[in-house]
Amino acid sequence: MTAGAKNVTPVAVITGASSGIGAATAIALGRHGYRIVVGARRVDRLARVAGEDGLAMRLDVTDEDSVKDFVREVSRRFGRIDVLVNNAGGALGLNSIEKAVDDEWIGMWKTNVLGLMWMTRASLPLLRKAKHGHIVNIGSIAGFETYRGGAGYTAAKHAVRAITKTLRLELNGEPIRVTEIAPGLVETEFSVVRFHGDRKAAKAVYEGLKPLAAEDVADCIVFAVTRPAHVDIDEIVIRPVAQATVSVVARKPARRKS
């Protein structure tokens, strides 16, 4: 489909959509009638997420050229973006500041902050071509809380929160809504990535409680983007019942093996 073709189906672009929250969001929005465009580095996982009518393309948000190429193709095919979900992000490591690893901090900032900025900046012209645009940034409760060993990630997610609030000011008066979704513990590949593939350490994060699933967060995103056009859901904070703060979590004791 070219930019000039008539297309009344809303177009939703989701970054980091090869798994977890991004994949669940793409599937949920597809079920609600959106034309899905998904991007991630692991292209082989995207076909299932995009569906028969969707578009799956390689996207590395840490590479500005990759972002530009991705958005250029969206523009060529659809001519606009109705919903942009900036989901790509993640944490690396759990070291104290004293033992901070430069590459981990740089990686977190490039993915969570610069990638979000590059994607938003490149997409704004297409969001302005939609009747009603919507930017959804996936933040975290780490965007307004801190915890030991989390300085690199919390700093990045605090930045996401600041960028989101600034976007609301800068886009005020335009028909573009801005929403931040801030989840707590969600069982996805998040912890596997944080612990560099150590699945035992990742599993321990969720032991003794029922964490959120990616679909729980996707439900919140769908709710926000399907409100009437004059309604802006500024932010949604979502946690499992067992989690009061980042570090205050009620866990059931492990069962003893007989």
Task: State the catalytic residues.
Answer: 153
Q: Is 124 in a helix, a strand, or coil? A: helix
Maximum Cα–Cα distance across the chain: 68
- Residue 155, phi-psi category: left (phi > 0), alpha (psi -120 to 50), beta (remainder): alpha
| Dihedral sign (CA 148, 151, 156, 162) | positive
> Can you state the angle between helices 64-78 and 115-127, rounded to 10 degrees?
20
Alpha helices in 110-213 (DSSP H): 115-127, 151-170, 190-194, 199-204
